[in-house]
């Protein structure tokens, strides 16, 4: 198996294909190379059947079979390549993730965004430039980030905190907003996350310490001294309710912390 990601570009606009080819060449952190180009789904299907590829950079609006329809056909195949949609239209993002696309990039594509998408593909294939995916990393939460819909692996989530009418999802590097309720998320995520308060779930792997601390009031709660748990690696403290105190202590003991 080649260590270089073999990329097929599918777009009916020649200039768009040229720009993507250039951007792939500029993404130095992940070894990747463009092995072919296609102007429509028929050409793309013929290339994949004859040569294969690891990743398809796929436009949505094309003559004939569009990108979404083509992705559906690829998904039905046993050994289909990964798909990253590259389009000027943002309204198809949710449908793209239902088709298990790795990412959804809007034009004009920035090199940093394309490189991040290539890294995700490399992680799935366990290639250089992408760390081996941990068990369960295929589980994702769909979030909205400045109008862009993206998927965050559950393995990267440190905590989920309910705030007013939305839930904040925290990773080591970003905060995102979810529309799901905390109760729904708790049911979906199961034992990987620990309820520490009525407004917060923390990944068990991120729990580091339990201490008495001065806490700021939130909503109808008054501030004051109370129990709090430290979340690594962001070094943030979340309030622990009296009801959840024993469970947090048990989690720390079980983890040897």
Taking only the tens place, the pLDDT of each residue in 11-33 is: 999 999 999 999 999 988 888 99
* pLDDT value of position 148: 66
Express each pLDDT in 105-154 by its tens digit.
Answer: 888 898 888 988 898 888 777 665 554 444 443 478 878 666 667 778 88
Average pLDDT over residues 200-209: 93
Q: What is the pLDDT of residue 2?
A: 53
Q: What are phi and psi of 8, to 5 degrees?
A: -110, 125
For the chain, the average pLDDT equals 85
The model's pLDDT over 66-110, given as tens digits with 9 standing for 90+, comes to 999 999 998 887 678 999 999 887 777 777 777 778 888 888 898
pLDDT at residue number 78: 66
Please tell me the predicted confidence (pLDDT) of residue 136: 41
Q: pTM score, two decimals?
A: 0.54
Average pLDDT over every residue of 165-184: 88
Compute and round to an integer the Cα radius of gyration of the chain: 22
Which residues are 86's β-sheet partners? 105
pLDDT given at position 134: 43
**pLDDT exceeds 90 at position 225:** no
pLDDT score of 217 = 63
Average pLDDT over residues 38-44: 96
In the prediction, which pLDDT does 106 show? Answer: 87
Q: What angle in degrees, to the nearest 10, is found between the helix axes of 67-75 and 41-51?
A: 30
Does residue 207 contact residue 229 with C-beta atoms inside 8 Å?
Answer: yes
Say yes or no to pLDDT of 1 above 60: no
Residue 184 is predicted with a pLDDT of 84
Please report the DSSP string for the chain in residue order.
--SSEEEEEE-S-HHHHHHHHHHHHH-TTS-EEEEEEESSHHHHHHHHHHH--SEEEE-S--SSS-HHHHHHHHHTSTTPPEEEEEES-GGGHHHHHHTT-SEEEESSPPHHHHHHHHHHHHHHHT-TTSPPPPTTTT-EEEEEETTEEEEEEGGG--EEEEETTEEEEE-SS-EEEE-S-HHHHHHHHGGGEEEEETTEEEEGGGEEEEEEEEE---TTPPPEEEEEEEETTTTEEEE--GGGHHHHHHHHHHTT-
């Amino acid at each position: 198996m080649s260590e270089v990601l073999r990329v097929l570009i599918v777009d009916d606009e020649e200039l768009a294909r040229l720009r993507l080819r250039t951007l792939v060449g500029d993404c130095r952190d992940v070894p990747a190379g463009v092995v072919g180009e296609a102007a429509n789904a028929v050409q793309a299907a013929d290339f994949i059947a004859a040569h294969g590829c690891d990743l398809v950079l796929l436009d949505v609006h094309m003559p004939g079979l569009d990108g979404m329809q083509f992705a559906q056909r690829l998904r039905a195949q046993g050994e289909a390549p990964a798909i990253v949609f590259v389009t000027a239209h943002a309204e198809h993002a949710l449908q793209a993730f239902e088709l298990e696309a790795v990412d959804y990039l809007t034009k004009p594509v920035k090199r940093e965004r394309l490189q991040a998408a290539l890294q995700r593909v490399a992680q799935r294939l366990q290639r250089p430039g992408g760390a081996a995916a941990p068990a369960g990393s295929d589980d994702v939460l769909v979030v909205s980030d400045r109008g862009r819909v993206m998927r965050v692996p559950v393995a990267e989530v440190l905590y989920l905190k309910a705030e007013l009418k939305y839930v904040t999802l925290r990773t080591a590097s970003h905060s995102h907003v979810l529309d799901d309720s905390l109760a729904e998320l708790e049911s979906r995520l199961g034992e990987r996350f620990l309820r520490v308060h009525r407004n917060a779930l923390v990944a068990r792997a991120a729990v580091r310490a339990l201490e008495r601390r001065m806490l700021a009031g939130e909503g109808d709660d008054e501030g004051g001294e109370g129990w709090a748990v430290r979340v690594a690696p962001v070094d943030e403290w979340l309030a622990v309710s009296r009801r959840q105190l024993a469970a947090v202590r048990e989690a720390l003991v079980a983890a040897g912390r």
